[in-house]
Structure 1
Amino acid sequence: MLSMLSNAQDLTRRLVTTAAEVFCLVGTAVGTGLLGTSVDQTGGGALSDQATLVAPYGPAFSIWSVVYLGLLAFTVYQWSDRGLPRLRRLGYLPALSMVLNAVWILVAQTGLVWLTAVVILALLAVLAVIGLRLGDAREEGAVGALVVDGTFGLYLGWVAVATCANLAAALVDLGLEPGPGAADVLGVVVVLVAGAVAVALAWRLGGRVAVALAMAWGLAWVAVGRFAGEPASTPVAVAAVVAAVAALVAVPLFRRRHSPAA
């Protein structure tokens, strides 16, 4: 009886996750402009790579392609019995992250930048819980480490950086834009806080490589945008480089015995 109940619960979770992945793919099509308006053009450009001093430069967003590919692989993987105890531990959280991802894109289409900030904070919270649950359970082989830990590690790390940019964009969109000097100071503070978050995640999650790589990637592109793009800011660029290095250095300091893909 218990076995039948567990099988039924597994089937429900798999179906819900698959449906969430389809919804996420539709949202992606909308956000890339295939079915809607490209995200960087919504809200009067409030979410573009030139919106604020802490926005990652354009090429940074190519990491989404890797994350989406990973989510698709995860959706297929979770139909197998590999790593079943860990997947049961995650429950519906991966599906919820996919739904929130698509909801963020759909909200961005409305131009309500402040609401996108609310949604991405919820997404970050869900991904943080996923990271904690994965960190507290042993990996089930290299494939599971790559598809599960690798995917959600990149997802968490990138969204952590994107959240900082999104919050800054929301504040500017609400009319809270500081003067040039104050903007530089606040930009430096924000990217250094992002670096501190990267170190904190490395400490709490045992130096997960994927999380650190994604955060370093995002912060490095913030630096590129401030050095070579607009708006320019040497202080923010230097701070972003420091934060990116901190994210990477924290990995060996707090590394636990995880698979390289984690």
Structure 2
Amino acid sequence: MDAAAATARPSDITRQIGVISAAVFMIIAALVGTGLLGGTPVQDLQGGALDADGSYLAPARPAFQIWSAIYLGLLAYTVWQAMPGQRESARQRTIGWWIALTMVLNGLWLVLAQFTTLLLTLVGIVVLLVALAVTFRIAVRTRQGGDGLADALLIDGVTGLHLGWVTLATVANATALLTQTAPGAWADAATGVGIAVLVVVGLIGVALAVASRGRIAPALALAWGLSWLAVARLTGEPESFGIGVAAIVVAVVVLVAAVVVRFGRAGVPAA
């Protein structure tokens, strides 16, 4: 039991039930949004605009396997936070509803992709990104040296993976919309613009490493997505050698920044 929160409150059980409800919604929404319960398969959503060949900044299909790790992590968090020992935790009280919100928004994005427009999917994923950024900031701020491995993995780790991946997914979503709506002549500038965007992604990754005191999870998710983006551009369509190489360089920079910050701070818990 958290010493800073020794007395149970009625709102604690409400929070635990709320997180469970959010997880259930996320899973049902994912089943509907990916077409597993009928409808359009996920790779064909929005006319294929969100697939690996939908834009210059879309990762190859294997990159999306990271969702399995994120979903499993969120479900493990849901079970863990529901345990009696977590009911009165001050950290759970601070972050539980935020993680629930990210699960709802996660599922909602897939529903938007299945049934609405590409513009609304971009709005949805931007809102999710903002919620994840706030949640991750809370996770970093509330982390204590005495917190255990479960805290590190299921709060810091899972939230970090989710944030890192959605950061890149937001870029891909925005690029998909631009690809569908911009004049065809803009394709001539695609490589230059794509490299510039990747530089910004790299700066965001470095900023995350510094602000989070070297949390590894966001960097791993970003590097994973960037690596598969490089594969998509170097071996698939639309092909772009410049974007592919830039994605590899940015992935290395993001990982190195996180490692340098992490191991440059003795005693900071890995997550």
Give TM class, smaller chain.
Answer: over 0.9
C-alpha displacement of 1:230:
0.9
The 3 A distance-change label for structure 1 pair 85 and 224 is same
Q: Is the contact made by 2:157 and 2:217 (CA closer than 8 Å) also made in structure 1? A: yes
Q: Which residue is equivalent to 1:21?
A: 23
Q: What is the match of residue 95 of structure 1?
A: 100
- Deviation by residue 1:128-154 (Cα, 9 ceiling, x = unmatched): 111111111224201221111111111
Equivalent of residue 186 in structure 2, options 175, 179, 189: 179
Deviations 1:112-170 (A, max 9, x none): 01111111011011111111111112242012211111111110100011010011112
> What residue number does 1:60 align with?
63
TM-score by length of 2: 0.90
CA contact (8 A) 1:171 1:177 kept: no
- C-alpha distance in 1 between matches for 2:241 and 2:77: 40
| Aligned-residue offset at 1:176 | 4.9
- Please name the residue that 2:32 is paired with: 30
2: CA distance, partners of 1:186 / 1:95: 35
Match of 1:245 among 252, 257, 261: 252
Deviation at 1:258, TM superposition (A): 3.3
Is it true that 1:108 corresponds to 2:110 in the alignment? no
How much has 1:4 moved relative to structure 2?
11
Query: Which of 177, 183, 199 is the aligned partner of 1:192?
Result: 199
Distance in 1 (alpha carbons) for counterparts of 2:21 and 2:181: 35
Residue 73 of structure 1: which of 58, 67, 76 is its match?
76
Contact preservation (8 Å) 2:191, 2:240: yes
Do 1:226 and 1:232's aligned partners in 2 also have CA atoms closer than 8 Å? yes
Secondary structure of the residue that 1:117 maps to in structure 2? helix
CA shift for structure 1 position 111:
4.4
Q: Deviations over 1:59-97 (max 9, x none)?
A: 000000000000100100111224822111114111111
Q: CA deviation at 1:7?
A: 2.1
Distance in 2 separating the partners of 1:183 and 1:20 = 39
What is aligned with 1:147? Answer: 154
TM-score, normalised to structure 1, is 0.93
Residues 148-201 of structure 1 deviation map (CA, whole Å, 9 limit, x = unaligned): 111111101000110100111122223355533301111111112111110111
d(CA) in 2 for partners of 1:86, 1:77: 13
Q: Which moved more, 1:31-40 or 1:68-77?
A: 31-40
Provide the rounded CA distance (Å) in 2 between the counterparts of 1:176 and 1:31.
Answer: 30
d(CA) in 1 for partners of 2:155, 2:143: 12
Name the SS for the 1:92 alignment partner: helix
- Identify which of 223, 238, 241 aligns with 1:231: 238
- Which residue number corresponds to residue 12 of structure 2? 10
Going from structure 1 to structure 2, the CA distance change for 1:180 and 1:201 (only over 3 Å counts) comes to: same
Alpha-carbon distance in structure 1 between the residues aligned to 2:183 and 2:31: 32
> How large is the Cα RMSD of the aligned pairs?
1.8
SS of 1:136's partner is helix
**C-alpha contact (below 8 Å) 1:142/1:259 kept by paired residues:** no
- 1:33 Cα offset (Å): 2.2
Letter in 1 for 2:171: C
Partner of 2:164: 157
Percent identical across equivalent pairs? 44
Cα separation, 1, equivalents of 2:95 and 2:183: 38
Taking structure 1 as reference, are residues 6 and 230 closer, same or farther at Cα in structure 2, changes over 3 Å only? same
Tell me, which stretches of 5 or more residues in structure 2 are unaligned? Answer: none
Q: Which blocks of at least 5 consecutive residues in structure 1 are unaligned?
A: none
Tell me the matched-pair count.
259
Q: Does the Cα contact within 8 Å between 2:223 and 2:252 map onto a contact in 1?
A: yes
User: Is 1:47 matched up with 2:50?
Assistant: yes
